[in-house]
């Protein structure tokens, strides 16, 4: 599909206002690009926007409005985020249009999606406040969420990372584990720790934990909180109850991003308890501003045998990897 190109100038020309609008290293323009699915290029006050016609029109209108305000207010990423929300602008993607690839720079190098589903997932996290990643083990849904969280922290788009997981494992109860709260929940959060260690290194993770920049938050202890300027990851969400999932989703505050990951074929709840993840899929599937990315065995990026194992169990159980339905 051909993309529309539109060129325009922002008047009057003023280098300080342009710098404020673009942000450090054009970070604000990148934020708008990801939200609207367009490409923005500029030389001074001359701008060129490329993308679907509706998105191009919305981008020009937004840039003109922001430029007017740039002389009175200093923008940061949160201010741009709030302007995008207040303008009621959602990501515009027309049939056949491929959104930009999202590349995440972390200590280990650059993380990018392997295959279309992972690329879609990363783009969704960059452009939505609440995101669901649903699929079997080994598809990268937790690893990519942590990578996105680390990038957001490194770029000061959030002030802290909050790692959340329900403590439901093979009938073992949280209270029976020795140690303080952190030590009790550590075994349940080990996959998140492993990803953090790979992104930051062990020493930096330990320091960030000590400073409470990275916070361990058992799901049971989230009630009553409001999380502003945070990147929140709820892992193993298939083991939440309906009440827990609703409670978690309503904790999200301004400037925050939430990623919920889970595998509906591996629910450890009692048989008579419905999974909060499955319920959220049914209730929130059509809510604007919430993204759902579904992974299958084709997206597994571990040992090739893992994909075959996932397919074999799904075939045996007669389950759909996306919905968990028989």
Q: How many domains does the chain have?
A: 2
In a domain, 213, yes or no: yes
Q: Is residue 95 part of a domain?
A: no
The answer to whether residue 141 sits within a structural domain is yes
- Residue 94 belongs to a domain: no
Q: Can you give the pLDDT at residue 96? A: 40
CA distance 173 to 190: 17
Find the DSSP H helices in the chain: 15-22, 27-36, 53-70, 77-86, 116-127, 141-154, 181-200, 202-210, 242-249, 276-284, 304-317
- Asked whether residue 326 is domain-assigned, the answer is no
Same-domain status, 54 and 122:
no
The CA distances from residue 43 to 40, 58, 181, 245, 263, in Å, are 10, 20, 54, 47, 47
Residue 306 lies in a domain: yes
Of 261, 74, 231, the residue nearest 155 (C-alpha): 231
pLDDT of 120 reads: 87
Could you tell me the CATH number of the domain that includes residue 300? Answer: 3.40.50.300
Q: Quick one: 208 exposed, middle or buried, by C-beta within 10 A (0-12, 13-18, 19+)?
A: middle
What distance in Å separates the CA atoms of residue 175 and residue 57, rounded to the nearest whole number?
Answer: 56
CA pseudo-torsion sign 186, 191, 196, 198: positive
Residue 96 lies inside a defined structural domain of this protein: no
pLDDT for the residue 94: 40
pLDDT, tens only, 223-281: 888 888 999 999 999 999 999 999 999 988 888 999 999 998 888 888 899 999 999 99
160-171 confidence digits (pLDDT tens): 999 888 876 544
Say how many CA atoms lie within 13 Å of 301 toward its Cβ: 14
Digitized pLDDT (tens) for each residue of the chain, 326 residues in all: 456 889 999 999 999 999 999 998 888 998 888 878 788 999 999 999 988 888 888 899 999 999 999 988 899 887 887 777 666 555 444 434 455 567 776 666 677 777 788 888 998 898 889 999 999 888 889 889 998 998 888 888 899 999 888 876 544 454 555 566 566 666 667 777 888 888 888 899 899 989 999 987 788 878 888 888 999 999 999 999 999 999 999 988 888 999 999 998 888 888 899 999 999 999 998 888 899 999 887 777 666 676 678 778 878 777 554 555 54
CATH number at residue 33: 3.30.1370.10
The pLDDT value recorded for residue 170 is 43
Domain residues for the domain of 220 are: 103-317
Are 132 and 58 part of one and the same domain?
no
**Do 163 and 296 sit in the same domain of this protein?**
yes
Same domain, 26 and 52: yes
Pairing of strands 4-9, 130-134: unpaired
| pLDDT of 166 | 84
The packing angle between helices 27-36 and 53-70, to 10°, is 150
Torsion (CA) 143, 149, 154, 157 in degrees, nearest 10: 160
Same-domain status, 161 and 51: no
Judge whether 108 lies within some domain.
yes
């Amino acid at each position: 599909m051909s993309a529309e190109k539109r060129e325009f100038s922002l008047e009057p020309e003023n280098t300080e206002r342009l710098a404020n609008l673009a942000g450090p290293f054009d970070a604000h323009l990148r934020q708008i690009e990801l939200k609207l699915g367009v490409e923005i290029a500029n030389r001074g006050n001359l701008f060129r926007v490329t993308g679907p016609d509706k998105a191009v029109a919305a981008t020009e209108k937004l840039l003109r409005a922001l430029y007017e305000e740039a002389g009175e207010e200093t923008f940061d990423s949160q201010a741009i985020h709030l302007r995008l929300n207040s303008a009621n602008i959602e990501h515009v993607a027309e049939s056949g249009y491929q959104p930009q690839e999202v590349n995440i720079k972390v200590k280990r190098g650059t993380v990018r999606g392997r295959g279309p589903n992972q690329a879609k997932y990363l783009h969704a996290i960059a452009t939505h406040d609440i995101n669901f990643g649903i699929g079997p083990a080994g598809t990268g849904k937790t690893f990519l969420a942590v990578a996105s969280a680390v990038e957001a922290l490194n770029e000061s788009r959030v002030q802290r990372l909050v790692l959340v997981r329900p403590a439901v494992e093979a009938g073992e109860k949280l209270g029976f584990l020795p140690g303080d709260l952190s030590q009790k929940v550590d075994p349940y959060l080990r996959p998140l720790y492993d990803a953090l260690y790979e992104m930051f290194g062990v020493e930096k993770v330990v320091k960030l934990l000590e400073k409470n920049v990275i916070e361990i938050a058992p799901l049971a202890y989230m009630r009553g909180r409001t999380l502003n300027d945070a990147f929140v990851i709820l892992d193993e969400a298939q083991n939440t109850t309906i009440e827990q999932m609703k409670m978690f989703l309503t904790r999200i505050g301004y400037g925050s991003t939430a990623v919920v990951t889970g595998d509906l074929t591996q629910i450890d709840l009692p048989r008579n308890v419905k999974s909060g993840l499955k319920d959220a899929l049914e209730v929130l599937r059509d809510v604007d501003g919430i993204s759902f990315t579904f992974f299958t065995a084709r997206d597994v990026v571990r040992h090739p045998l893992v994909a075959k194992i996932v397919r074999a169990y799904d075939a045996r159980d007669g389950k759909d990897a996306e919905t968990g339905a028989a």
